[in-house]
Amino acid sequence: MSGTVAVIAVAIFFTLPPPAAVFSTSRPRPCGIESVETRFPAPEGYVRTAKPPDSFASYLRRLPLKPAGADIRLFDGRTRSGRGVAAAVVDLPVGDRDLQQCADAVIRLRAEFLRAAGREDEIAFRFTNGFRAEYARWRRGERIAVGGDEARWIRPAVPAEASAVDGRDFEKYLETVFMYAGTASLAEELESAPGDDPEIGDVFIRPGHPGHAAIVVDKAENPGTGRAVFLLAQSFMPAQEIHVLVNPKDPRLSPWYAVGFGNILHTPEWTFSSAELRRFKDD
């Protein structure tokens, strides 16, 4: 969704204002908060696929959820009903700028996972123009200057705040990536995956303006039949909270989707081809 590098007459230096809300999933959570795996039991006869506890898959399963029936909050404070779209709303702040749209939500979840796992040096995403925004350089105090359709690293005249403890610096990095990355750039960073067997962390993505992306956040299998089901989550336009999707084509199975859905995957607000499934390259 978001992502075309804006044409700017002169280079500008990004020192973004602190967001109104903390992005990090690693903040303390009150007791009793449900997660994807506790809210949605596997369908009868199915069991969740085993995943290492430190994996991206396990991280996505543990995403915290707002209370059942919660509306989806937009970046500007308005809400939209999740009826017919959302089976649950992920309890992560969306921020107060129209930035965290579909591809941005995937980027955010991946970055949050790597940071929580102590793998900050692996956090890097390309802008639509091909520029590689590495969080390791950002942490060292470098910032990104964009002029026209070019981007480069610079050292600000005033040293930038860079703290591994203060999440605001991480949020500023993510906001910058959200401004200049999108479905086209994210699709280029992912590798093709078998569309008939999505794994947790895989992304259905269509590059374009607009394009769309939805991420697989859970999976279960039937040991007897070998059949499998999965859960999907997305953000959308305008920027809004991430939410787990209902299955509009099979209300009895919803919110689970059946593996082997054919060539076309119908979600509440988008239709994907099985050929549009992608995977992070190190998973």
pLDDT tens profile 79-133: 999 999 999 999 999 999 999 999 999 999 999 999 999 999 999 999 999 999 9
Is residue 239 assigned to a domain?
yes
- Rounded to whole angstroms, the Cα distance separating 115 from 26 reads 9
Is residue 257 assigned to a domain?
yes
Question: Total domain count for the chain?
Answer: 1
Q: Is 6 exposed, middle or buried (0-12, 13-18, 19+ CB in 10 A)?
A: exposed
Query: Which of residues 29 and 56 earns the better pLDDT score?
Result: 56
Contacts of 53 (CB under 8 A, 6+ apart): none
> In the predicted model, is pLDDT for residue 2 greater than 90?
no
Is residue 275 assigned to a domain?
yes
Strand ranges (DSSP E) for the chain?
12-13, 47-48, 72-73, 79-80, 86-89, 124-126, 132-134, 143-147, 150-154, 191-192, 203-206, 212-221, 228-234, 243-245, 257-258, 264-266, 271-273, 277-279
Is residue 14 assigned to a domain?
no
Is residue 63 assigned to a domain?
yes
Tell me how far CA of residue 190 lies from CA of 22, 114, 141, in angstroms. Answer: 27, 16, 28
pLDDT value for 29: 52
Is residue 249 assigned to a domain?
yes
Is residue 192 assigned to a domain?
yes
Residue 89 corresponds to which amino acid?
A: V
Residue % of the chain over a pLDDT of 90: 78
> In the predicted model, is pLDDT for residue 27 greater than 50?
no
pLDDT band at 77 (very low <50, low <70, confident <90, very high): very high
pLDDT band at 240 (very low <50, low <70, confident <90, very high): very high
Comparing CA positions, the residue from 56, 53, 180 lying closest to residue 110 is 56
pLDDT value for 209: 82
Is 137 within 8 Å of 143 (Cβ atoms)? no
pLDDT value for 283: 65
What is the SS3 assignment for 57?
helix
Mean local confidence (pLDDT), 216-238: 97
Query: Which of residues 15 and 67 earns the better pLDDT score?
Result: 67
The boundaries of the domain holding residue 48 are 36-92+188-279
From the CB of residue 93, how many other CB atoms can be counted at a distance below 10 Å? 17
For the stretch 255-282, pLDDT in tens is 999 999 999 999 999 999 999 999 998 7
- Rounded to whole angstroms, the Cα distance separating 196 from 43 reads 19
pLDDT value for 17: 31
For the stretch 152-192, pLDDT in tens is 999 876 655 544 445 688 999 999 999 999 999 999 999 99
* Cα-based torsion angle of the residue sequence 83, 87, 90, 96 in order, rounded to the nearest 10 degrees: -20
Is residue 69 assigned to a domain?
yes
Radius of gyration (C-alpha) of the chain in whole angstroms: 19
